[in-house]
Amino acid sequence: MPRSPDFLGAVGIGVSDLEASAVFYETALGMKRVQTFKLPYMDEIVLSHEGRTAVVLMHWTDGSARNYRDVPVKLVFYVTDPTARAAAIRAAGGTTQLEPAPQASLGGAVVGLCKDLDGYVVELLQAPAA
C-alpha cells in the first residue's frame, strides 16, 4: 500500500506555565525547541525529536478562563529506556503512575505511565529495536 502524503504534524496541549513545561519536555524527554509563536491570543512553543511529530505547548494570553490541569489527554513516547525516562520525568517535577514494566496483555511490551507538570499522561513505550 502506498504511503499517504497526509500526516499528523503536531499535537497541541494547553499548559499553565509555558516556560516550565518547555523545560520539562526538554529535560525529561529529550525534546528540542523547534519554533516559538507569539499570537494575539496565545503564546506557543513547538518541541520535537528530530524528524518526528511535534508537541505544541500553548498558553492563552487573552484573559480567557482555561483549564490546564488534569485534562484527559495522553502523549505516547517510544523511548529506548522507559525506566530511565520515568526517573527523568520524576526528577523534572512529573510523577509516575505505573512504573515501566513488561505488560503481558501487550505481548510483553514495556510500558510506563507518568504525568507531566499539568497532569497530562505521558506513556512510555519501549522503542522497537532499530
Q: Is residue 96 part of a domain?
A: yes
Helix then strand count (H, E) for the chain reads: 2, 8
**Total domains, the chain:** 1
Residue 21 covered by a domain: yes
Q: Residue 82: inside a domain, yes or no? A: yes
Which conformational region is residue 26 in: left (phi greater than 0), alpha (psi within -120 to 50 degrees), or beta? alpha
Whether residue 83 contacts residue 125, with contact meaning beta carbons closer than 8 Å, is answered with: no
For the four alpha carbons of 27, 118, 10 and 107, in that order, the dihedral sign comes to positive
3-state secondary structure of 95: strand
pLDDT in tens, 2-49: 888 898 999 999 999 999 999 999 999 999 999 999 999 999 999 999
Whether residue 4 lies inside any domain: the answer is no
CATH code, domain carrying 78: 3.10.180.10
- Tens-place pLDDT, residues 94-123: 999 999 999 999 889 999 999 999 999 999
Residue 2 forms part of a structural domain: no
pTM of the model: 0.92
Does 5 fall in a domain?
A: no
Please indicate, yes or no, if residue 1 is contained in any of the structural domains. Answer: no
Asked if residue 83 belongs to a domain, the reply is yes
Residue 23 sits in which domain range?
A: 10-126
Pairing of strands 95-103, 42-48: unpaired
